[in-house]
């Protein structure tokens, strides 16, 4: 795609990429069926080396990046994570380790503390060993509980993240009780967003409307009775909304992801968008990527918008929603996110929700496909 | 004294869950916390960077009045600290 030819129509220069997400590796000991990573990750190129990541950090910090997510895959699979954290701290980033906990022992957490890591977000898949281990297709529940204790011991704020979907959303009360028992300071109940593996498994993962409403009511009741400071976020699944989420605050506005092989993306799912040559940090500077590359400039402003977004007074608030969702559902990334009831494709969303209202999907013809290199290889188009 | 009884003798301290720093790219002080950031206006930044748990609000006020060659900031500082306590950015020791 070409950038806009007429300079007068170009949007004003962007602010800094305040949020930098480094997906350090696609390696992961878990096999979660709701992972947002691309299903074809098996064909991803070699991972960046330590020096590349340190250069990415320095260049992004110069542009004004300040919140740093260290994610993956499982970032602990990188044995240079301590070096990356130390450099991030030296540069003034606020660093967030987003982890399954697998690979986090006392030696490593002590090293992260010394290196200046600011925060650890630990994922659980459910409140019971049986469901956690089924949903992640691993035996990790006991280990995660031990890691939670280590996080407290090392005086980190305890942030638990649980991705909700049809198979665990009825356990929200048990999940919150578990979080309370573990001493969580923040709990994110993040309903599944349908990208990557989650998109592939959407039929099996989509909860019914009744499930979502029940879970939200349970959460609200829990908030009233929890006896200590515990911030609970319940992220409503956008398929159940009438207006789209202001995804990434608009592409190219505040968010920059670098994938394990060095591809720079304006959101972690954007690699699916056709027509772009996403720049790689192996060849381009972060300044070029953020300020000049088509992949980052194309969806800035509103010149790319079609109706009904273009003339919509809400376009400055929601930016037309999610480009990836528009593409996945309608085949055109410039369409309105069909979550919006003003979208001519909104039926695609209401139909998916209606399908989720049927009594059981355990009998669905499609099996749940777990994230693994072997399954990924079979899903490469 | 409860944490909400804020006077000139109170000693405000930034809550340990937050990190305050100057961001040149934003020309502002920001408060950083797990996966989030609050951009502060200039007076909020100037007050918060003086909330070290040692200085009293009277000290902070005097220091600001000197730094910005002005007077009569006391009520503004107390009002801001009250708001910051409410938002749990700072705790008040006495």
* pLDDT (tens digit per residue) in A25-50: 999 998 988 898 999 898 899 999 99
pLDDT at A362 > cutoff 70: no
Tell which phi-psi region holds residue A289, choosing left (phi > 0), alpha (psi between -120 and 50) or beta. Answer: alpha
**Residue in B with minimal Cα distance to A121:** B34
- What is the spatial distance between Cα A156 and Cα B16, in angstroms, rounded to a whole number? 10
Q: Over range A162-171, report the average pLDDT.
A: 93
* pLDDT tens, position by position, A101-120: 999 999 999 999 999 999 99
Across A219-258, b (16+ Cβ under 10 Å) vs e yields: beebeeeeeeebebebeebbbbeeebbbbbebbbbbbbbb
Tell which phi-psi region holds residue A81, choosing left (phi > 0), alpha (psi between -120 and 50) or beta. Answer: alpha
Q: Over range A230-234, report the average pLDDT.
A: 91
Predicted pLDDT at A63: 97
**Within 10 Å of residue A186's Cβ, how many Cβ atoms?**
22
**What is the pTM for the complete model shown?**
0.91
Quick check: A123 and A148 in contact, CB under 8 A? no
Query: Maximum CA pair distance of chain B?
Result: 40
pLDDT at A202 > cutoff 70: yes
pLDDT at A265 > cutoff 60: yes
Phi, psi of A128 (to 5 degrees): -115, 155
- What is the spatial distance between Cα A56 and Cα A262, in angstroms, rounded to a whole number? 9
Predicted pLDDT at B25: 95
Which residues are within 8 A (CB) of A314 and not within 5 positions of it... i.e. 6 or more apart?
Answer: A243
pLDDT band at A182 (very low <50, low <70, confident <90, very high): confident
**Within 10 Å of residue A357's Cβ, how many Cβ atoms?**
12
| Torsion angle defined by CA atoms of residues A304, A306, A311 and A317, in that order, rounded to the nearest 10 degrees | -60
- Structure token pair of residue A280: 């790689």
Quick check: A29 and A100 in contact, CB under 8 A? yes
Give yes or no for B37 touching A (CB within 8 A). yes
Phi, psi of A329 (to 5 degrees): -90, -30
Tokens 């209202």 appear where? A357
- Structure token pair of residue A276: 């772009």
Cα angle A315, A317, A318 (rounded to 5 degrees) comes to: 70
B19/A159 Cβ within 8 A: no
pLDDT at A4 > cutoff 50: no
Q: Over range A68-85, report the average pLDDT.
A: 97
A66/B34 Cβ within 8 A: no
Predicted pLDDT at B2: 45
What ipTM does the predicted assembly reach? 0.88
- What Cα–Cα distance (Å) separates residue A280 from each residue in A143, A277, B53, B65? 36, 9, 46, 50
- What is the spatial distance between Cα B64 and Cα B70, in angstroms, rounded to a whole number? 8
Predicted pLDDT at A226: 85
**Within 10 Å of residue B28's Cβ, how many Cβ atoms?**
15
Q: What is the mean pLDDT of chain A?
A: 91
Quick check: A357 and A208 in contact, CB under 8 A? yes
pLDDT at A363 > cutoff 70: no
A67/B34 Cβ within 8 A: no
A94/B32 Cβ within 8 A: yes
Predicted pLDDT at A11: 63
pLDDT over 90 for what percent of chain A? Answer: 72
Quick check: A135 and A168 in contact, CB under 8 A? yes
pLDDT at A347 > cutoff 80: yes
- The neighbouring-strand residues paired with B14 are B90
pLDDT band at B1 (very low <50, low <70, confident <90, very high): very low
Smallest Cβ distance to A66: which of B17, B32, B34? B32
- The neighbouring-strand residues paired with A67 are A19, A94
Residue B36: list chain A partners with CB under 8 A.
67
pLDDT at B3 > cutoff 70: no
- The neighbouring-strand residues paired with B21 are B30
CA A184 to chain centre: 20
Stated as kind and residue range, the H or E segment containing B31 is strand B28-33
Instruction: Give first-to-last CA distance, chain A, whole Å.
Output: 23
Give yes or no for B39 touching A (CB within 8 A). no
A69/B34 Cβ within 8 A: no
- Look up residue A294 and give its DSSP letter: H
* pLDDT tens, position by position, A302-312: 999 999 999 99
CB-side neighbour CA atoms (13 Å) of A178: 24
* pLDDT tens, position by position, B23-72: 999 999 999 998 899 999 999 999 999 999 999 999 999 999 999 999 99
Quick check: A219 and A175 in contact, CB under 8 A? no
pLDDT band at A365 (very low <50, low <70, confident <90, very high): low
pLDDT at A375 > cutoff 60: yes
Chain A residues with CB-CB distance to B under 8 A?
15-16, 18, 63-64, 66-67, 69, 92, 94, 96, 118-119, 121, 157, 159, 185-186
């Amino acid at each position: 795609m070409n950038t806009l030819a007429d300079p007068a129509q170009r949007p004003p220069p962007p602010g800094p990429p305040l949020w930098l997400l480094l997906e350090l590796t696609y390696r992961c000991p878990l096999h979660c069926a709701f992972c947002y990573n691309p299903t074809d990750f098996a064909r991803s190129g070699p991972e960046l080396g330590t020096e590349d990541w340190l250069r990415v950090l320095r260049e992004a910090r110069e542009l004004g990046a300040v919140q740093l997510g260290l994610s993956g895959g499982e970032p602990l699979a990188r044995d240079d994570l301590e070096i990356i954290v130390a450099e991030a701290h030296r540069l003034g980033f606020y660093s967030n380790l987003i982890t399954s906990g697998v690979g986090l022992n006392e030696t490593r957490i002590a090293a992260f503390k010394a290196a200046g890591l600011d925060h650890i977000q630990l994922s659980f898949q459910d409140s019971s060993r049986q469901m956690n281990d089924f949903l992640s297709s691993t035996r990790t529940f006991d280990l995660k509980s031990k890691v939670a204790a280590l996080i407290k011991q090392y005086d980190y704020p305890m942030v638990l993240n649980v991705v909700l979907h049809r198979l665990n959303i009825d356990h929200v009360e048990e999940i919150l009780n578990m979080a309370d028992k573990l001493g969580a300071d923040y709990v994110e109940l993040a309903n599944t967003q349908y990208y990557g593996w989650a998109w592939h498994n959407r039929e099996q993962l989509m909860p019914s409307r009744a499930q979502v409403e029940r879970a939200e009511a349970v959460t609200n009741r829990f908030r009233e009775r929890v006896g200590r400071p515990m911030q609970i976020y319940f992220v409503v699944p956008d398929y159940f909304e009438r207006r789209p989420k202001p995804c990434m605050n608009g592409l190219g506005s505040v968010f920059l992801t670098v994938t394990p092989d060095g591809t720079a993306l304006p959101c972690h799912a954007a690699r699916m968008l056709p027509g772009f040559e996403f720049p790689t940090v192996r060849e381009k500077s972060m300044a070029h990527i953020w300020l000049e590359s088509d992949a980052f400039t194309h969806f800035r402003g509103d010149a790319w918008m079609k109706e009904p977004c273009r003339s919509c007074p809400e376009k400055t608030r929601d930016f037309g929603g999610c480009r990836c969702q528009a593409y996945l559902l309608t085949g055109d990334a410039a369409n309105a996110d069909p979550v919006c009831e003003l979208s001519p494709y909104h039926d695609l969303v209401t139909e998916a929700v209606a399908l989720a209202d049927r009594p059981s999907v355990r009998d669905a013809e499609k099996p749940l496909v777990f994230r693994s290199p072997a399954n990924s290889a079979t899903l490469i188009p | 004294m409860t944490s909400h009884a804020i006077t000139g003798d109170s000693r405000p301290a930034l809550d340990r869950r937050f990190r305050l720093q100057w961001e040149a790219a934003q020309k502002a002080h920001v408060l950083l916390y797990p996966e989030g950031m609050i951009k502060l206006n200039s007076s909020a930044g100037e007050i918060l960077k003086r909330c070290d748990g040692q200085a009293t609000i009277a000290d902070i006020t005097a220091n600001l009045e000197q730094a910005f060659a002005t007077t009569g900031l006391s009520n503004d500082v107390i009002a801001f600290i009250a708001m910051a306590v409410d938002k749990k950015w700072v705790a008040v020791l006495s």
